[in-house]
Amino acid sequence: MAEPSEWQRRIEGEWHGRPSLFDAAGTWQGYEDIRRSSVFEDGVTTYYMDGGLEGGGPLAGRFRLGAPFAFGVVDSDGDRIYTGPDFHGTGQPYGGFVDAHYYGPGWQVDLNTWNHVLPDGQTQVYSSTLYQGWAVVGCFNGVYKRSTDYDANPATRDAIERFLADETRHGPIPFILPTKERGAYSGTCELWGADQKPAGEVTVSIRLEPLDLLRTRHHVTWTGALDRDYTVEARRDGTRSFYEGPDAWGNAQAFGRANYPVLHFSDDVWKVKGREFMVDATPGMTAGETLTVVYELFRGNVLHAVLHGVLAWEAGV
């Protein structure tokens, strides 16, 4: 390829993050300090990831390695192919979001990585769910910031260090929605077809009606290029949640600020697999004002569309 793909241009530069590591039950284990970049040079794309694990508990022996990662990429806005040596698999972009499935021989896990570049172009919400066969063994997730002059500009280094300090405080925070305050997360999201082509915009509203400290009624509305409204009663049990009708049924597992739901609609063939990430949740009992969402929509067992965007909290609505 003579020119980089649209996705490759979207992720150019260096990205800095301090994603947290969680075990399969959602218990925080430690941090991964990462500088990563995807370099397009002479028609060849190579992905570099340099960093180390701090902490990790029982998972440290598996996820702490003694050398940086590097792997080739067949650059494309269709199927991005990861050619090793350190990761083997593929990823599919849908605008500012890529869904990647691959294997890491060093970590000895199968990974499902979701990277969502937010509309500011400088922030990336990241998660990698880690599998042994079909069983989840852990999850990395966090937020990254882009730089283009980190090594040369002291002001850039200071800004990145402040950001990483915030990620250090925020990483272990559990995903807990407001439990005594009505309100709604709402915003305009992009809809992409399974063919990876834009399919319009959808206004998303998640209106919360707390019932007690562990149960909240969710009234969800999608309008625009996709229309649906449904209500579920959500019950939280630690890092697990359960959606118990009347309009959809399912459950979720949270890893820190990120919640991973799967919902099956009542009397319908549709299923939703998603990630809801509180970017700015703070220590204590303060939920985030900003919720980034990615939902993959399945008709039966076939991917139909991908919906992603940023939602803002408004109390009292």
> Does the structure show a pLDDT above 90 at 35?
no
Specify the pLDDT at position 71: 85
The letter for the amino acid at 236 is: R
Residue reference for tokens 């707390």: 210
Bigger pLDDT: 39 or 220? 220
Among residues 12, 75, 1, the alpha carbon closest in space to that of 43 is found at 1
pLDDT in tens, 98-143: 999 999 999 999 999 999 999 999 999 999 999 999 999 999 999 9
pLDDT in tens, 138-169: 999 999 999 989 889 999 999 999 999 999 99
Lowest-confidence range among 40-54, 98-112, 258-272? 40-54
Under 8 Å between Cβ of 122 and 148: no
User: Which structure tokens are listed for 32?
Assistant: 């991964």
Q: How far apart are the first and last CA of the chain?
A: 50
pLDDT in tens, 288-311: 899 999 999 999 999 999 999 999
- H/E element, 99: strand 97-104
Under 8 Å between Cβ of 164 and 18: yes
70: helix, coil or strand?
A: strand
Specify the pLDDT at position 1: 52
Specify the pLDDT at position 39: 74
Under 8 Å between Cβ of 98 and 115: yes
User: Which structure tokens are listed for 67?
Assistant: 């050398």
Per DSSP, the chain holds a count of helices (H) and strands (E) of 3, 21
Specify the pLDDT at position 101: 98
What mean pLDDT value characterizes the chain?
93
Phi, psi dihedral angles at 271 (to 5 degrees): -135, 145
Under 8 Å between Cβ of 25 and 252: no
Tell me what percent of the residues of the chain surpass a pLDDT of 90. Answer: 79
Specify the pLDDT at position 183: 97
The tally of CA atoms less than 13 A away on the side-chain side of residue 24 is 9
User: Which structure tokens are listed for 38?
Assistant: 């995807």
Residue 55 CA to residue 14 CA, distance in Å, equals 24
Instruction: Grade residue 46 by pLDDT with cuts at 50, 70 and 90.
Output: confident
Under 8 Å between Cβ of 140 and 128: yes
The CA angle 240-231-250, to the nearest 5 degrees, is 35
Lowest-confidence range among 11-25, 45-59, 111-125, 184-198? 45-59
> Does the structure show a pLDDT above 60 at 9?
yes
Under 8 Å between Cβ of 296 and 129: no
Domains and CATH numbers, the chain: 6-170 (2.40.128.20), 183-315 (2.40.128.20)
Lowest-confidence range among 60-74, 124-138, 225-239? 60-74
Specify the pLDDT at position 285: 67
Residue 53 CA to residue 180 CA, distance in Å, equals 37
Phi, psi dihedral angles at 124 (to 5 degrees): -130, 125
pLDDT in tens, 173-187: 999 999 999 999 999
Instruction: Grade residue 216 by pLDDT with cuts at 50, 70 and 90.
Output: very high
**Using alpha carbons only, how large is the chain's radius of gyration in Å?**
19
